[in-house]
Structure formats: structure tokens, C-alpha cells
Structure 1
Amino acid sequence: MLHTAPSILCVTDRTLCPEHFLSQISRIAAAGPAGVILREKDLCESAYRSLAAQVLSLCRQHQVPCILHTFPSAARALGATALHLPLPLLRAMPKEERAAFSSLGTSCHSIAEALEAQALGATYLLAGHIFDTSCKPGLPGRGLDFLAQVCAAVPLPVYAIGGITAETLPGVRRAGARGACFRSGFMTCPDPASYLHTLERSFSHAISP
């Protein structure tokens, strides 16, 4: 179960860390985000499972939800109860396997995908990308109107992803999102606790226009 409010999620990318990745994860977990999504898509399953075991341990020490990514069998083997899958993998997962995870998320890029994910048993969604981001060069962000439409279309918690900053968090909250995801900021900041506090304060202080 993800923490609720304010809900700032860390999405990992160890290639961005200027220092030791697990040391950074330890600092992030100690700061207490709503969750850590271990998204290391370049790894094969065996390498991912090995890394996930260490990250799960660090997150459990600080009672921070750790959401594994892509590999259901690795998640089950490690006793993980939270999993994030790309929508094609969620479609392919048998219903009885989906039931093994109390937290099951996917990413959506349209209203139709959000509705499909809900029908497939997703318990939360990542909606994006909201703003322009270096992760998606040349592809314009879908914007806050898109985010608001997704939030209105499904009763699930929706987290914005893609180019979010502390300055844009108030708009994200006004659009109806439960929270937002941050990747490079968490991976590179020297003080995750201070960084998280800034994000939480910005999200909490959003005022409706």
C-alpha cells in the first residue's frame, strides 16, 4: 500500500547517480517518500532480482513501500506485494497472478488506457508525460488538462510523471492527482530529505485558483 499524502514517489535510474546507487537509495528511504519504484529497465531479470533484494531491504528498514518493476516472478520470489508493469505486460498477466499484488500499477498515456488499466485491476496509475522531459526528447508533454481528464475518468489514485518540478506541483494537485513522480532529482540530489521536504511543501500548499 502506497503512503497517501503528500504523495511524492521516487522513480529510480541508477545510471544518473553520481555516487553509489544503494547509498543514495538508503538516503532516499530514510527521507520517507510515499514509495520507491525500482525502474531499472536495462537489467535482465536475474540482475534486477539481485538489485531488488537489496533495495527492498533498505526500504523495509525505513518502512517505505518499494514497488518493483517489469518482472512479476522476481517480485513474487522476493515476497514483494507491490508491482508496476507497462500496460502490455499488465494485459498479458493472468488475473490470478494480478491478485497476488496488493499494489499493482501501470502507466497510461490516454483516457482509454486509464480505463483499460482500471478494468485490468490496477490499483494506481502513473499518467504522463505531463511536461516536456529529457526522457522523451522531441515529444511535447500532454499537459495538465490531460492529467485532469485522467483523474476525472477513474477513481484510482493518479500520479503525474514527466518533467514535474516543485514549481509545477501546485498545478498537478489542482488537476486532481494524488501526487507526482521524480527521477533525476532524487538520483542526483546530495540531500534527499531536504529535496523531499521542498516537494511535499509545494504539493501541500497548492491553492485552488
Structure 2
Amino acid sequence: MSNIVCITNRHLCKEDFLTRIIHIASYHPKAIILREKDMTPEDYLELASQVISICKKYNVKCILHSFSSVATSLKMNAIHLPLPLLRSMSKKERSSFLVLGASCHSVEEAKEAEALGCSYIIVGHIFETDCKKGLPGRGLEFLQNVISSVNIPVYAIGGINETNISQVLHTGADGACLMSSLMSNDNISQLMKK
């Protein structure tokens, strides 16, 4: 099974977004996280329905992002949240999701996410990336420190590509998240095979 998690950003797509999702899903990543935070809940619901359908066809886990009410209305058991949103949810709301993830940027945040019931976390940003222009990556040592501080799967994000993913996996990370490269790369097959 793949250890690559696709994080979406429709604004980076060079082609029709759903066509890109089909293409990515056909390579069976570990999961696709539908991270389209700038949408209205209504538009997100419509897009999520389409992406869920694609993921089911290819037997790929679909994880919704930020819109917990949309996830609930679609009877989805997987959600990824920024830490402030996770903190604002009640224990009952959090426990309604079988897969609960959060984005973390420190050891303390990772420990907090685990204490709040997360089943995995995404940690970043590890390397320099265009998404965080001007901010240096936190590095592999930071990633190792987070991994050793929690007992749940840790996925790395930020500037990860085919040339440095082996370094990320060597730290003990459970996998890596790719956004820009999967959304805009002309040769997804080469990227996923590496």
C-alpha cells in the first residue's frame, strides 16, 4: 500500500480538478484529503460528493477537511482539521469520526492532537516550499522529535518530492503528504512510482 497522502488544492490544477482526482486515485494513494477551505459549505458539499464517488471507485480513502458538518451530512467517518477547529469540537463530536486528523507544527501541538483523540497527524512544513515562501523548513530532526513524542501515525508535509521522500521515510514517518507536486505535475505516474 502507498504511503503517499494527496492533499488537494484545486487552484494549482492545470486541468479539470475532477480529472486530476481520477488520475491521482488511479495510482491508489493512502488517502486523498479534500482540502478546499476557501469554499462555501454548500459548494464543498457538492465537490465532496463527487470526490467521494471517485475515491470509492478506486478504493482510496477520502478524508474531508475542515467542514465537519458536511462530513456528518455525507455520513463520512473521516475528517482532517486545523488544530483550532479540533479544539473547538466537543468530545462527542470528535468521537463521531473513526479517522480524525489534525495539522501540527510543534511537539506540543502533536501531543495535544493525540490527547484530543486524533488517529493520525500531519506535521510540517519539513522542507522549504512555495506554499510557505520565505519560511525555512523545520527539518528532519524536528520531524523525528514529533514522531518520538506521540503514539499515533505521523505524516510529513512541506516541500516533499521524489528526491527527498526517502529521507522523510527514514525518520520513521508513516508517510508523506504531497500537494503542489500532485496537483500540478505533468507526470503523476513517474512521481507516484518513485
Class of the TM-score when normalised by the shorter of the 2 chains: over 0.9
Q: Distance in 2 between matches of 1:173 and 1:179?
A: 6
Report what 1:25 is aligned to.
21
Q: How does 1:52-91 map to 2 (within 5 A)?
A: 52-91=48-87
Q: Distance in 1 between matches of 2:113 and 2:151?
A: 12
Gaps of 5+ in 2: none
The alignment partner of 1:36 has SS state of strand
Q: How does 1:127-146 map to 2 (within 5 A)?
A: 127-146=123-142
2:149 pairs with one of 146, 153, 166 = 153
Q: CA RMSD in A?
A: 1.0
Report what 2:162 is aligned to.
166
The alignment partner of 1:49 has SS state of helix
Q: Are the aligned partners of 2:162 and 2:191 in contact in 1 as well (CA < 8 Å)? A: no
How far 1:81 sits from its partner (Å)?
1.1
Greater RCO structure (CA 8 Å; 6+ sep): 1
The alignment partner of 2:47 has SS state of helix
Q: Distance in 1 between matches of 2:49 and 2:130?
A: 29
1:41 pairs with one of 37, 40, 58 = 37
Letter in 1 for 2:7: V
Q: Distance in 1 between matches of 2:190 and 2:57?
A: 20
Q: How many residues align?
A: 194
Matching of residue 189 in structure 1 with residue 185 in structure 2? yes
Matching of residue 125 in structure 1 with residue 112 in structure 2? no
Letter in 1 for 2:49: A
Gaps of 5+ in 1: 199-209
Letter in 2 for 1:23: T
Q: Are the aligned partners of 2:125 and 2:137 in contact in 1 as well (CA < 8 Å)? A: yes
Letter in 1 for 2:33: I
Letter in 2 for 1:149: N
2:92 pairs with one of 93, 96, 114 = 96
How far 1:44 sits from its partner (Å)?
1.3
Percent of aligned pairs sharing the same letter: 50
Q: Distance in 1 between matches of 2:183 and 2:20?
A: 7
The alignment partner of 2:101 has SS state of strand
Letter in 2 for 1:8: I
How far 1:123 sits from its partner (Å)?
0.5
Query: TM-score, normalised to structure 2's length?
Result: 0.97
Matching of residue 115 in structure 1 with residue 111 in structure 2? yes
Letter in 2 for 1:181: C
The alignment partner of 2:108 has SS state of helix
How far 1:18 sits from its partner (Å)?
0.9
Query: TM-score, normalised to structure 1's length?
Result: 0.90
